[in-house]
Amino acid sequence: MACQLWRRISSFLFLVPFLFHGCGPSILKIPARGSLVGQSIETTVDSEIARYYLENYLTNHETRPAFDARIDEISQSQAQIHLDRDALNDISQAFSVDFAALFLANRLWQDEHNRAVQTQFYKNVKDRKATLASGGSQAREEFSDYLILLVPGWDYAENGHKTGADLAKPRELMNELGLESHLVEIPPTGSVEENAAYLSEQVLRHSTGRKQIILAGASSAGPAIHLALGELLLPDQLQQVVAWMNLGGILQGSPLIDYLQKWPRSWLFEAVRRFKGWDKQEILSMSAANCRARFKRLTIPDHILVINYLGLSLSGGLSKYSRDKYPILSEQGPNDGLTLLADIIAPRSITIVAPGSDHFFNEDPDINIKTVALAQTTIQLVQQQRQGP
């Protein structure tokens, strides 16, 4: 009983810091439906212009000249500009956070490489669902030359079965298909640097075989993978690594960690940290301040394909785990409840947008099928690139 009580107190303490943010203005809930990145969505958005952009502007049914003029202007002014977090924050301030998220998704969709891969991915999802519905799960020869190293998220050993951070179900489905996969048992609450060092050792160990290696990791695994590929391993040690599946990786950190370092939130954060037995420097290694500095110096070898899986978080479709955090980060622009959307995207990469998801992918009932479909899509793309035009 005492143990259960302390768990409740711990959970409460973790949430209390967010209460200091204040209630602020409530988020509008304007019903909206439409098609985005080839997928139908029905949700609520935080502004009338966001609804109009989705329902009218993107379908060329322009009926409000004032809105059309504003959207035309921002589209033209941003056409040649990389949509980083600063640009998206500016758009959020001028329009709304949901508008900025939709604008980013449409920009990504306009890239022919993103569009082709996204289309193939959703085809694989559909086919995989049909196969499972018919009871089929036979191994496939096309996967036999590949090995996936799955890098779990924060605290996966204790809570991974609840959050999906242990990647147990995707591993099971991949193995059924004949796709060899291994869990990289990084320190459950290790720093980015510590996890990257352990991952590097595992990459070298698995590189002694004949199979091509694909790395896959979600959330806090992202910066560790980035560091291993971009700095710790030499290019000649990465010849067998052909791809990285970046599943919502916090590549440039979580601004929530920086937010919790400020008084009076910091003392509550410190109480929780001590109770959980977490090392402060390990947590701070995932802060925006530390990750952004690290991100700038990393370069991944050209032969490694990087595919980002980006949960498109609109205010009307947040999971229970992101609802209290999303408003805090919204002051900095569109986010997934843990990090800013632009900060998930790796350099020189392809991005698949997942409408209806946020950072906490395990809330998506199809996430396990989608993870396998993403692995299949990645292998197909690697094979296509090797065949050439």
Bridge partners, 215 (sequence order): 149, 244
Segment 339-360, tens digit of pLDDT: 999 999 999 999 999 999 999 9
Q: Which pLDDT score, from 0 to 100, does residue 276 have?
A: 79
Q: Which domains does the chain have, with CATH numbers?
A: 27-109 (no CATH), 113-387 (3.40.50.1820)
Segment 123-164, tens digit of pLDDT: 999 998 888 888 766 667 778 899 999 999 887 777 666 666
Q: Which pLDDT score, from 0 to 100, does residue 11 have?
A: 42
CA atoms 161, 164, 167, 170: torsion sign: positive
Q: Which pLDDT score, from 0 to 100, does residue 15 have?
A: 44
Whole-Å CA distances, 201 to 113, 144, 301: 33, 23, 18
Residue 263 has pLDDT above 90, yes or no: no
Model confidence at 26, pLDDT cuts 50, 70, 90, reads confident
Task: Decide: 317 and 50 in contact? Cβ < 8 Å.
Answer: no
Q: Which pLDDT score, from 0 to 100, does residue 164 have?
A: 65
Q: Which pLDDT score, from 0 to 100, does residue 7 have?
A: 40
Closest CA to 74 of 49, 51, 94: 94
Residue 389 has pLDDT above 80, yes or no: no
Q: Bigger pLDDT: 169 or 88?
A: 88
Mean pLDDT score, 360-387? 90
Task: Decide: 278 and 218 in contact? Cβ < 8 Å.
Answer: no
Query: Residue 114 burial by CB count (10 A; 0-12/13-18/19+): exposed, middle or buried?
Result: buried
Count CB neighbours of 77 within 10 A: 12
Q: Which pLDDT score, from 0 to 100, does residue 252 have?
A: 98
Residue type, 67: F
Mean pLDDT score, 46-53? 98
Residue 2 has pLDDT above 60, yes or no: no
| Pairwise CA distance, residues 27 & 29, whole Å | 6
Q: Which of 155-159, 168-172, 247-251, 375-379 shows the lowest mean pLDDT across its residues? A: 155-159
Residue 183 has pLDDT above 90, yes or no: yes
Q: Which pLDDT score, from 0 to 100, does residue 165 have?
A: 67
| Pairwise CA distance, residues 137 & 310, whole Å | 27
Model confidence at 17, pLDDT cuts 50, 70, 90, reads very low
Write down the mean pLDDT value for the chain. 89
Model confidence at 274, pLDDT cuts 50, 70, 90, reads confident
Segment 286-329, tens digit of pLDDT: 999 999 999 999 999 999 999 999 999 899 999 998 999 999 99
Q: Which pLDDT score, from 0 to 100, does residue 162 have?
A: 65
pTM: 0.91
CA atoms 335, 338, 343, 344: torsion sign: negative
Please provide residue 151's backbone torsions phi and psi, each rounded to the nearest 5 degrees.
-105, 115
| Pairwise CA distance, residues 30 & 159, whole Å | 35
Task: Decide: 249 and 344 in contact? Cβ < 8 Å.
Answer: yes
